[in-house]
Structure 1
Amino acid sequence: MKKSDFHYDLPPELIAQAPLPERSASRLLLVPPAPAAFADHGIAELPQLLRPGDLLVFNDTRVIRARLFGHKASGGRVEILIERLLDGDQARAQIRASKPPAAGSTIVLEAGAQARVLGRDGEFYRLRFEVDEPLEAWLRHAGRLPLPPYIHRDPDAADDARYQTVFAREPGAVAAPTAGLHFDAPLLQALRARGVETGQLTLHVGAGTFQPVRVEDLDAHHMHSEWLRVDASLVAQVRRTRARGGRVVAVGTTVVRALESALREGELQPFAGETSIFIRPGYRIRSVDALLTNFHLPESTLLMLVSAFAGQERIFAAYAHAVRERYRFFSYGDAMLLWPPVQTP
């Protein structure tokens, strides 16, 4: 299987550069199993597309203000994108500079602090920040929100709220779990009134989510690692849902990655730790019955994941429909509700 198998053409004007005034004003493309037709809906209609007793699973990670700017002691300008908070005052980060900083060197930050380069592991650097409060707390006022690279503007005050889900509570992500951005209080209330339950897990989305696949042969691709936690309470919710005939609906690809990583011998189990799972066609997703997700970049591992879930041919037909109907793409864009193909005995 090749990276180029997942290419599609997208008019640049369909890449959403800002959120809509209301979260639940986004469009929703319903993608049922073939040969049923696609159907154009709004995200506000989601309660009517689900059944009482279904379970929506959200990712409650919170985006940290992970982008920093500064200069090396020698004077060269530096941009830092924190990939992960580590113990104490340390972080793993990507660094953009004219010349890679050496271990032991110091970066003077515009925010009024310094970062010491402890070493490098591949594309990531290990940094120690000289700050007088916990690093995550310091970043809240010193860092900048890391909007995705396809949003061609600086973040503003509106992004501080809109590039977080309304249920975000566990800081650690450097990108939002974007399928969750569509949910607001009225939509959540409508789901509860419909009898749809909700559950939460945590997966801290890393900077690797925006890294392009650099090899044509997907067998040679090394997936980035992300930290997750699936609690026993969610495992119990999933089991109760399945026992009563309800369906488990993942809100976003990060939820699928987390739940699939927590499977042990086909059964969902509590789990906390790292995952580098690479889900692509040929992999059968067993942990969820439906997937609510945004539209993903060409040749990305997220597009490969949704192709594994709903079928590659079906996904590309849905994307072609979305382009024709002028859906909005990527993080601040519209959504699709995917059902897997009907399994033959």
Structure 2
Amino acid sequence: MYRYKYLINNTMNEHSITDIKLSDYTYELPDERIAKFPLTERDQSKLQVYHQGEITHTQFYQITDYLPQGSLLVFNNTKVIPARIHFQKPTGATIQIFLLHPIAPTAVINLAMEVSESSIWECMIGNKKRFKKNDILQRTLQVNGNEVVVSAKLANEEQNHVELSWQNLSNDAPILFVDLIQSLGEIPLPPYLNRETESSDYETYQTVYSEKKGAVAAPTAGLHFTEQVLQKLQQAGFKQDFLTLHVGAGTFQPIKVENIVEHRMHNEQIVFSRKNLQTLLQHEGPIIPVGTTSMRALESLYWFGVKLGKGDSDFLIEKLYPYHHTETLPSRQESFATILNFMESNDIEELTGETEIFIFPGYQFKVCRGIVTNYHQPESTLVLLIAALIGEDWRKVYQEAMEKDYRFLSYGDSSLLLP
């Protein structure tokens, strides 16, 4: 098995990562432990609380009793779009198009939702060998009471870019992509659920606070929250903030290389408002992300502040960027202040960036002091992230979950991890 040696230098210490083996981050997950359907009541799920090595078992609706006093919970308010589309050729062959990222006329997901007439997306294409270069696939459907014809063709065969175009046959009113996709596509469930999407999934596979359409997978740590739990958190004095990270299909991508840093990390789009920065700057207590997506977004935001401090305003956090520093690094407040000053100086209300940050053991957390999260697949980037946060105790947490009959993965039970 491959052994990887990597040197990290930062203000806190000089840490040598050695012997990172993918096989060290696996566990046996029987299929029957994967929750194929959600519970009837979201907040009735089990909750395992890990606090500095000690473990407590409770239920999710009691999470307010275990959060650190003065915590700010940061939620991801992305909303899953029906990103799986089926077309049928005249020959009878079915072509499946899975939307990943918009390419043109804009790569900004929030803006891509408002496009009318045509859009190009990077896709995964099922049965691609039957989708020829000059093929034009078509469907006619009803969108908000209008008869609409939709066409799909390959815009770039090598890069799996598909151009979708649509025409309103009923009148001249423009049809926005966000409305089109609601009628055209279906909610894409994670592949490990190994079942067809059901009508109930359109509600249960969304968080109750989902708002910004554009994800192709749900930020599942948030599925346990109900309006009642959110209200209880507020009454208990826990602050809440909402950012956007549009979860991509790459979140399910297993690591297939022996050298984990050769794993091609998925790129995800993040959106922060000026209000987000102000809230983060004003808060002095612990910041607890709800889910790995919120954690990735917050830690990426810190590193964008580092880049800005060096005069680099390109908001792209490469997967190993955090591990390349020998200089003294700013505090989280200093980093966030740099970003806020940049936004104010340039009259920017909302900042859109991209991150492929790879958080694995040895990573020095700059923002997050814990996490609310589900239980993740063996040998996944998300298990590596959990191990980065709580060290070797990740094994104890997962073993406890197995022994206490917890439900695993997207529709499964929850944990609150506080190192």
- Structure-2-length-normalised TM-score: 0.75
- Secondary structure of 1:234's counterpart equals helix
1:150 is paired with a residue of what secondary structure? Answer: helix
Match of 1:231 among 270, 273, 283: 273
Compute the displacement of 1:105 (Å): 2.8
- The yes-or-no answer on 1:166 pairing with 2:208 is yes
* Partner residue in 1 for 2:294: 255
1:269-280 aligned at under 5 Å gives the runs 269=339, 271-280=351-360
After superposing the two structures, state which structure 1 stretch, 171-180 or 43-52, moved more. Answer: 43-52
2:151 to 91, 114, 124: 114
Instruction: State the alpha-carbon separation in 2 of the partners of residues 226 and 121 from structure 1.
Output: 21
Pairwise CA distance, 1:98: 5.7
Are 1:175 and 2:217 an aligned pair?
yes
Q: Give the CA deviation at 1:241.
A: 1.7
Aligned position for 2:393: 314
Report how far residue 189 of structure 1 moved: 0.8
Between stretches 42-51 and 173-182, larger displacement belongs to: 42-51
Cα pair 1:16 1:329 within 8 Å, conserved: yes
Identity of aligned residues (%): 37
Q: Distance in 2 between matches of 1:116 and 1:22?
A: 42
| Offset, 1:85 | 3.7
Aligned partners of 1:230 and 1:258 also within 8 Å: no
**Which consecutive residues of structure 2, in runs of 5 or more, have no partner in the other structure?**
1-19, 106-114, 142-148, 169-174, 307-329, 341-350
1:33 counterpart = 2:18: no
Correspondent of 2:384 among 298, 301, 304: 304
Give the CA deviation at 1:28: 0.7
Would the aligned equivalents of 2:100 and 2:249 in 1 still touch at CA under 8 Å?
yes
Task: Give yes or no for contact 1:105–1:116 (8 Å, CA) kept in 2.
Answer: yes
Q: Which residue of the partner structure matches residue 166 of structure 2?
A: 130
Offset, 1:254 = 0.3
Matched, 1:9 2:48: no
Q: CA deviation at 1:128?
A: 2.4
Task: Look up the equivalent residue of 1:4 and give its one-letter code.
Answer: S
Q: 1:160-199 CA distances to partner (integer Å, 9 max, x unpaired)?
A: 1111111111000000000111111110111011000100
Whether the 8 Å contact between 1:27 and 1:41 is mirrored in structure 2 is yes
Q: Which digits, 9 at most, give the CA deviation of each residue in 1:222-244, with x for residues without a partner?
A: 211111012221222122221xx
Does residue 48 of structure 1 match 2:65? yes
The CA distance in 1 between the partners of 2:76 and 2:167, in whole Å, is: 30
| 1:295 alignment partner, one of 375, 393, 396 | 375
CA contact 1:69–1:109 (8 Å) conserved in 2: no
Aligned length: 333
Relative distance call for 1:107 and 1:338 in structure 2 (3 A) is: same
Alignment partner of 1:114: what SS?
strand
CA 1:33–1:71 in 2, change beyond 3 Å: closer, same or farther? same
Structure 1 distance, partners of 2:206, 2:55, is 29
129-138 vs 62-71, greater mean Cα deviation: 129-138
Quote how far apart the aligned CAs of 1:15 are.
Answer: 0.4
Once residues 252 and 56 of structure 2 are traced to their aligned partners in structure 1, the CA distance between those partners, rounded to angstroms, is 29
1:260 corresponds to which letter in structure 2?
E
* Corresponding letter in the other structure for 2:417: L
Question: In terms of mean alpha carbon deviation, does 39-48 or 211-220 score higher?
Answer: 211-220
**More displaced stretch, 95-104 vs 319-328:** 95-104
Give deviations 1:296-328, integer Å, cap 9, x for gaps.
1111111111111111x1111110110111100
Query: 1:343 matched to which residue of 2?
Result: none
Unaligned runs of 5+ in 1: 341-345
**Is the CA contact 1:113–1:130 (under 8 Å) kept in the aligned structure 2?**
yes
Instruction: Return the alpha-carbon distance in structure 2 between the equivalents of residues 65 and 289 of structure 1.
Output: 34
Provide the residue aligned with 2:38 in structure 1. 19
Deviates more, 1:279-288 or 1:108-117: 108-117
Q: Equivalents in 2 of 1:71, 1:150: separation in Å?
A: 25
- State how far apart, in whole Å, the 1-side matches of 2:222 and 2:371 are: 12
- SS in structure 1 opposite 2:200? helix
Q: Name the residue aligned to 2:4.
A: none
* Aligned residue in 2 for 1:61: 78
2-structure distance, mates of 1:162, 1:118: 34
1:268-291 CA-partner distances (Å, limit 9, x unpaired):
336421111111112112111110
| 2:135 counterpart residue number | 105
Q: CA deviation at 1:2?
A: 3.1
Alignment partner, residue 412 of structure 2: 333
**Correspondence for 1:83:** 100
74 and 5 in structure 1: CA distance in 2 versus 1, 3 angstrom threshold: farther
Task: Name the counterpart of 2:325.
Answer: none
Contact persistence 2:387–2:394 (CA under 8 A): yes
The TM-score with structure 1 as length reference comes to 0.91
